[in-house]
């Protein structure tokens, strides 16, 4: 089995489907450069729409078998005031073949986001997210990673202001060896 290494998204968008607040500057997830997508709201108890990263530019061989997929989100809460009460958390992480064929949600614990950027990794070398994949699905510009967050999951007067600097994906795959061989008889 081989993998593609971490590949950064080529496009970002704020898409409805969950939540009530959009992301500002979603196209900023295409570089690990400190220029971020951020919440357009800092209202308490607000669920954000999906932040969708796509157009990864994969070129996996057509005869490859997809073994696993990973997604990495570099996230922080720029309004984290510290203390015992969380103000922003990751609530949904999915991937999709396109906007209508989405995976299982792998976020089960709603981790609280802190003031420092942290890479949150999901999936793995043997995780297919509940879908069957072909190389064409992965190579398509519509292949995507989706993230949603909740602002103020605690009882403080503050709401979080999450920022996402970059989104990457890594694909694990295998390619069957060709069954053709040539034998020569020397004699």
Q: What's the confidence (pLDDT) of residue 59?
A: 97
For the segment 141-181, what is each residue's pLDDT rounded down to a tens digit? Answer: 999 999 999 886 555 555 678 899 999 999 999 998 865 54
For the segment 36-90, what is each residue's pLDDT rounded down to a tens digit? Answer: 999 878 777 889 999 999 999 999 999 999 999 999 999 998 765 555 455 788 9
- Between residues 152 and 184, which one has the greater pLDDT? 152
> Residue 132's pLDDT band (boundaries 50, 70, 90)?
very high
For the segment 75-130, what is each residue's pLDDT rounded down to a tens digit? Answer: 998 765 555 455 788 999 999 999 999 999 999 887 888 888 999 999 999 999 99
2-175 has which fold? Jelly Rolls (2.60.120)
Q: What's the confidence (pLDDT) of residue 84?
A: 47
64-77 vs 162-175, strand pairing mode: antiparallel
State the average pLDDT over residues 2-19. 97
Residue 11: is it exposed, middle or buried by C-beta count within 10 angstroms (0-12/13-18/19+)? Answer: middle
- Please state whether the predicted TM-score (pTM) of the whole model is above 0.85: yes
Residue 172: is it exposed, middle or buried by C-beta count within 10 angstroms (0-12/13-18/19+)? Answer: buried
Q: What's the confidence (pLDDT) of residue 28?
A: 98
Q: What's the confidence (pLDDT) of residue 82?
A: 55
Domain limits of the chain? 2-175
CA–CA gap between residue 151 and residue 21 (Å, rounded): 10
């Amino acid at each position: 089995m081989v993998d593609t290494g971490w590949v950064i998204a080529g496009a970002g968008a704020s898409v409805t489907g969950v939540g009530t607040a959009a992301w500002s500057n979603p196209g900023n997830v295409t570089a690990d450069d400190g220029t971020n997508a951020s919440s357009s709201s800092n209202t308490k108890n607000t669920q954000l729409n999906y932040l969708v990263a796509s157009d990864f530019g994969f070129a996996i061989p057509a005869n490859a078998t997809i073994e696993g997929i990973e997604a990495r989100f570099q996230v922080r809460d720029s309004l984290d005031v510290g203390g015992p009460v969380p103000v922003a958390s990751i609530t949904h992480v999915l991937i999709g073949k396109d906007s209508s064929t989405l995976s299982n949600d792998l976020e089960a614990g709603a981790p609280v986001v802190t003031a420092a950027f942290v890479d949150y990794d999901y999936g793995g070398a043997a995780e297919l997210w509940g879908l069957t994949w072909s190389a064409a699905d992965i190579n398509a510009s519509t292949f995507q990673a989706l993230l949603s967050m909740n602002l103020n999951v605690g009882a403080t007067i503050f709401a979080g202001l999450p920022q996402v600097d970059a989104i990457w994906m890594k694909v694990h795959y295998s390619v069957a060896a060709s069954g053709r061989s040539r034998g020569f008889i020397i004699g």
